[in-house]
């Protein structure tokens, strides 16, 4: 097991499928073997299969060929296969034992490559189609002595059972399915949300029985047999990775977009907590907040003021669970006045057709995908983003109700 995987909280690791964001991140270090025949591991209850895998052999590093599937944007009306991020692709992955990661993907449609490098506290992504580098600085999470003492690593079977019981309150989790992926004995499980309100049908997670390395992560839209998002790898090699692999740099001619530091504000001991309540939110921003009591048939359930300074925004939630709709309102800037996320010259140059619709006289960007939808528009100096695991029509109805 790689050390950067081990350092993640056992609660997050064991809740396979509970957090799709974490699953996707772990899936980025997915690995399958090229040798080993068709042997399958012994049948075990899920808790034992997870615990024994995480207690397996130490891994110094991983290199592998990877395939990324993305069917999200094709259904949104965007040209398929523009680049590997939007249309899927294949490439290589390297991950070291100290947490450095490099992923490169190429598009089969000739849309240019993508490079992602996480080295030390630096993270950057190079998008060749736009000749742009997106970069940020990461700050490692600090753990207190108390939290360290409470974490079991490797987790016991009893600890895994507790986590699965907690996960079971929100999702249906299958047993451990003994399988073989590209010659590696492996286990697989299916996680499906009990909340039937959203568009997410579930996730499949497959991991190496010997060391716990994720082999495949796939996310499915409700009612679909083929994954909407998936990442998997083949021709894996376990072993130490040459540090030079992570020393590459993007082209000097690339435009750089600095996303800032992914850490708490300087000089503060703890991240600022959001301020809750409609009155407090309205008092904390320089624009008029639109927050009707009901939206698209859903009742307003929460209002929060987040951020600081000029980056303050108001987040309003309607409904509960996976069928909830979230509205994010912020002061519009010159970059997103009309329309935000609109069909820019660069998008057209790259062959991307971004769907639009009219919302209360404003031109809105509309994305309807198998897993959820997003509507973004600017009106009266306020930028609105409506998002949820709902159909495009439901998202538009909500946007038009603001």
CATH code of the domain containing 16: 2.50.20.10
Same domain, 237 and 316: no
Q: Is the pLDDT of residue 175 over 90?
A: yes
Angle made by CA atoms 52, 58, 64, in degrees to the nearest 5: 105
**182-232 confidence digits (pLDDT tens):** 778 999 999 999 988 899 999 999 998 988 888 899 999 999 999 999 988
**Domain encompassing residue 116:** 3-255
Phi, psi of 393 (to 5 degrees): -65, -40
SS3 at position 246: helix
d(CA 203, CA 224): 11
**Phi, psi at residue 338, to the nearest 5°?**
-160, 110
Which of 291 and 71 is assigned the larger pLDDT? 291
Q: What is the pLDDT of residue 112?
A: 75
How remote is the C-alpha of 122 from its chain's centroid?
18
Domain boundary pick from 222, 255, 288? 255
Is a pLDDT exceeding 80 seen at residue 75?
no
Q: 3-class DSSP state for residue 398?
A: helix
pLDDT, average across residues 26-47: 64
Radius of gyration of the chain from its Cα atoms, rounded to whole angstroms = 22
Give the model's pLDDT for residue 397: 95
Q: Give the whole-angstrom CA distance, residue 139 versus residue 98.
A: 15
Within this chain, do residues 50 and 137 fall inside the same structural domain, yes or no? Answer: yes
Q: How far is CA 197 from CA 23, 125, 316, 367, in A?
A: 21, 34, 19, 19
More confident residue, 326 or 85: 326
- Shared-domain flag, residues 31 and 123: yes
Which residue, of 255, 279, 314, is where some domain finishes? 255
Peptide bond into 154 cis (omega under 30): yes
Whole-model pTM? 0.75
Whether 174 and 307 share a structural domain: no
Q: For the chain, give the percent of residues with pLDDT over 90.
A: 42
The answer, yes or no, to whether residue 335 has pLDDT greater than 70, is no
Average of per-residue pLDDT across 225-249:
88
Weakest-pLDDT range from 54-63, 90-99, 144-153, 357-366? 144-153
Domain end, chosen from 220, 255, 290, is at 255
Give the separation between CA 158 and CA 214, rounded to whole angstroms: 22
Instruction: Provide the 10 A C-beta neighbour count for residue 328.
Output: 15
Instruction: Give the H or E element holding residue 393.
Output: helix 392-400
For residues 59-71, average pLDDT = 86
HSE-CB at 162 with a 13 A cutoff on CA atoms is 10
185, 285: one domain: no
Same domain, 172 and 269: no
Residues 248 and 273 in one domain: no
From CA 100, how far away is CA 116, in angstroms rounded? 11
Mean pLDDT of the chain: 79
Q: DSSP letter at 170?
A: T
Q: What pLDDT is stored for residue 218 in this prediction?
A: 94
Q: What's the domain count of the chain?
A: 2
Same domain, 239 and 274: no
Whether residues 132 and 209 share a domain: the answer is yes
Predicted pLDDT at 346 = 44
Give 250-279 pLDDT, tens digit per residue. Answer: 888 999 888 765 544 444 445 566 788 999
CATH number of the domain to which 286 belongs: 3.40.1000
Q: Are residues 329 and 222 in the same domain?
A: no
Q: At what angle do helices 46-54 and 157-168 cross, to 10 degrees?
A: 130
Say if residues 66 and 72 touch (Cβ distance below 8 Å): no
List CB contacts of 127: < 8 A, sequence separation 6 or more. Answer: 83, 85, 112, 114, 133, 134
Residues 52, 189, single domain; the answer is yes
Shared domain for 93 and 122, answered yes or no, is yes
> DSSP labels for 211-276?
T--EEEEEEEETT-SS-SEEEEEEEEEES---GGGG-----TTSEEEEEEEESPPTT-SSPPPPEE
- Which range among 4-18, 28-42, 274-288 shows the weakest confidence by mean pLDDT? 4-18
Q: How confident is the model at residue 296 (pLDDT cuts 50, 70, 90)?
A: very high
Rounded Cα distance, 87 and 81, in Å: 4
């Amino acid at each position: 097991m790689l050390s950067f995987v081990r350092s993640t909280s056992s609660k997050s690791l064991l809740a396979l499928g509970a957090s799709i964001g974490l699953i996707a991140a772990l899936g980025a270090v997915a690995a399958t073997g090229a040798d080993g025949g068709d042997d399958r591991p012994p049948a075990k209850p899920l808790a034992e299969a997870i615990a024994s895998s995480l207690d397996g052999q130490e891994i110094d590093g991983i290199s592998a060929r990877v395939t990324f599937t993305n069917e999200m944007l094709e259904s949104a009306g965007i040209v398929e296969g523009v680049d590997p991020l939007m249309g899927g692709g294949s490439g290589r992955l390297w991950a070291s034992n100290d947490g450095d990661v490099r992923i490169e993907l190429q598009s089969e449609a000739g849309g240019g490559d993508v490079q992602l490098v996480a080295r030390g506290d630096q993270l950057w992504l190079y998008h060749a189609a736009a000749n742009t580098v997106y970069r940020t600085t990461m700050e490692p999470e600090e753990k207190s002595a108390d939290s360290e003492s409470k974490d079991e690593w490797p987790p016991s079977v009893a600890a895994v059972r507790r986590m699965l019981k907690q996960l079971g309150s929100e999702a249906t989790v299958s047993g451990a399915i003994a399988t073989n992926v590209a010659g590696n004995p492996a286990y697989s499980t299916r996680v499906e949300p009990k909340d039937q309100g959203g568009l997410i049908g579930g996730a499949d997670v497959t991991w190496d029985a010997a060391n716990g390395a994720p082999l495949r992560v796939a996310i499915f839209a409700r009612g679909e047999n083929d994954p909407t998002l998936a990442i998997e790898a083949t021709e894996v090699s376990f072993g130490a990775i040459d540090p030079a692999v992570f020393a590459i740099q993007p082209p000097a001619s690339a435009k750089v977009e600095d996303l800032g530091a992914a850490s708490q504000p300087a000089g503060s001991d703890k991240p600022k907590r959001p301020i809750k309540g409609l009155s407090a939110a309205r008092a904390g921003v320089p624009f008029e907040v639109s927050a009707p009591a009901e939206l698209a048939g859903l009742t307003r359930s929460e209002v929060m003021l987040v951020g600081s300074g000029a980056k303050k925004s108001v987040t309003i939630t309607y409904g509960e669970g996976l069928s909830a709709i979230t509205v994010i309102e912020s002061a519009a800037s010159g970059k997103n006045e009309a329309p935000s996320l609109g069909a820019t010259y660069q998008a057209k140059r790259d062959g991307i057709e971004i769907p639009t619709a009219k919302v209360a006289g404003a031109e809105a960007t509309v994305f309807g995908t198998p897993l959820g939808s997003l509507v973004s528009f600017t009106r009266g100096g306020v930028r609105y983003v409506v998002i949820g695991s709902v159909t495009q029509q439901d998202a538009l109805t909500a946007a038009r109700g603001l």
